[in-house]
Structure 1
Amino acid sequence: MKFRKGIPILYSSDVLRSVAYYTSVLGFDNHWTWGDPPTFAGISKDSFEIFFCEKGQGNPGTWMSVFVDKVDEYHDLIKSRGAQILVPPVDREWGVREMLVQDPDAHKIRFGCGISIRDKSSVSLPEQVRIVVRKPSLEEELSLVASVGWTATGGVADQQRLNQLVFSVVAEDTQTGTAIGCAEVASDLASIYYIKNVIVRPEWQNQRIGAALMQAVTHWIDANALEDALVTLFTGENLAPFYRQFGFNPGYGMTRKPGNKK
């Protein structure tokens, strides 16, 4: 027995709107509708098809993955047409370069293409380095902070802050057991996820360790954060290109010092 073909059926609040979005914005070539007025429809491009059912057969917010041959070229095309791109193309550690797109019914499509072993090598780590899901000890964090010229008191408040982290990763030198980098996430586990203390010791920088730390953090947030949560971090303009590869873009905001001091 052979399985011939699979076609996802997506919930649609308005099948004509769904068809219009997928054809005029996402570039699907063919479409059809069923009923008068239409309550069922389908679109296709090459060998891939999607069906839509009006107000039935599912719920908003379904996820699916679609493979294309040139994801960056496709990104530029649909961006120019007004597609809602949640995450631009980025290399993933599982061997796919992909972006995340949302349609009018909050369905999320991971458009991606495979990357070669040579492409993947750009995010590989030195042999003696490993990324471990754990919190840095207070001593480790203070040492990392000092290595990049930041300051911390090392008091009770710092330990309490470490204890309250919802996720963190540490880069370790397996030959010495030393923490050579870290990245931390603070959150209310509802509306906001704040990435902080992304640190790599200066002597270990420019070896993709920071990228590996950020990959681990963003993968965890993507898997655990609520759909409408805000994921944020603060950085200087010189590091903006580094964080942009993980889907971060400049945003508008305001800050306030305690006591409303200027």
Structure 2
Amino acid sequence: MILAEVSLLTNDVLKLANFYKTILNTTSDGDDEIHQEILIEGAALTIYNDGTKKNNNNQNICIAFTVENVDEEYERLKTLGAKIIEPPTTRPWGARNMHFCDPDGNHVYFRSFPN
């Protein structure tokens, strides 16, 4: 089995999709206000407005991306104005993580695995 897609529901597809395209250094093939698909290695991240009002009180999910160098990404995200929750920290299991939130309050982690 392969995880093919993670979908984030939002009130503002354009704002959230642009945030993820910027932090992931990628583009999508459209700028639809209802649904956008952002292809990343191994899966798709979709941003979708299903027509219901969202409260953006997202406390039960986080999304993590493995990056080459989390410290460099931290510096880049600071310049983009990302809401940083925790700067890069080395975890007991060896991963180096940073934690931030997207514009809707979803928790996002960038991590790397130093040698």
Q: TM-score, normalised by structure 1?
A: 0.38
More helix by share: 1
Structure 2 equivalent of residue 28 of structure 1: 25
Deviation for aligned residue 1:77: 1.1
Q: TM-score, normalised by structure 2?
A: 0.80
> Which aligned pairs between 1:1-262 and structure 2 lie closer than 5 A?
3-24=1-22, 26-33=23-30, 38-55=33-50, 60=56, 61=58, 62-116=61-115
Higher radius of gyration, 1 or 2 = 1
Counterparts of 1:49 and 1:28, CA distance in 2? 14
SS at match of 2:109: strand
Is the contact made by 1:87 and 1:101 (CA closer than 8 Å) also made in structure 2?
Answer: yes
Deviation for aligned residue 1:34: 7.5
Letter paired with 2:11: S
More strand by share: 2
Deviation for aligned residue 1:115: 3.2
RCO higher in structure (CA 8 A, sep ≥6): 2
Which stretches in structure 1 are left out of the alignment for 5+ residues? 117-262
Let me know the Cα RMSD of the aligned residues.
Answer: 2.3
Deviation for aligned residue 1:9: 0.6
Deviation for aligned residue 1:105: 0.8
Letter paired with 2:18: A
Letter paired with 1:75: Y
Is the contact made by 2:4 and 2:42 (CA closer than 8 Å) also made in structure 1?
Answer: no
Q: 1:13 to 1:71 in 2, by over 3 A?
A: same
Structure 1: 4+ residue segments shifted above 6 A: none
Deviation for aligned residue 1:96: 0.7
